[in-house]
């Protein structure tokens, strides 16, 4: 049952977010955190702790393009806000 719930959560994400998570290996590009959750004895990336972030903020004219997106953990993304990323 957990695998079904995880799969439905994974596929409920937009396709561009799934591609960015895979490209960045489910790792925060600022602090290097790779959050993991255990479900049915399997360790899987904790998608609740990961966000897809615009390097150049959308609110300041940044596009939703793969070269302008990065994976950040919740803490890093919320502390960054709408400032430009240094990466």
Instruction: State how far the Cα of 78 lies from the Cα of 4, in Å rounded to an integer.
Output: 29
* Spans of all domains in the chain: 2-80
Cα(21)–Cα(10) distance, rounded to whole angstroms? Answer: 11
* Per-residue pLDDT tens over the stretch 35-78: 988 877 888 888 889 999 999 998 889 899 999 999 999 999 99
Q: How far is C-alpha 26 from the geometric centre of its chain's CA atoms?
A: 7
Q: How confident is residue 1, by pLDDT bands cut at 50, 70 and 90?
A: very low
| Averaged pLDDT, 24-42 | 90
Of residues 57, 80, 83, 78, the one with CA closest to residue 68: 57
């Amino acid at each position: 049952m957990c695998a079904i719930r995880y799969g439905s959560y994974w596929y409920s994400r937009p396709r561009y977010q799934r591609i960015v998570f895979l490209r960045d290996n489910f790792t925060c590009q600022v602090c290097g955190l790779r959050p993991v959750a255990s479900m049915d004895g399997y360790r899987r990336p904790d998608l609740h702790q990961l966000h897809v972030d615009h390097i150049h903020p959308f609110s300041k004219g940044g596009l939703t393009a793969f070269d302008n997106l990065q994976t950040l953990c919740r803490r890093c993304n919320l502390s960054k806000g709408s400032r430009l990323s240094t990466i």
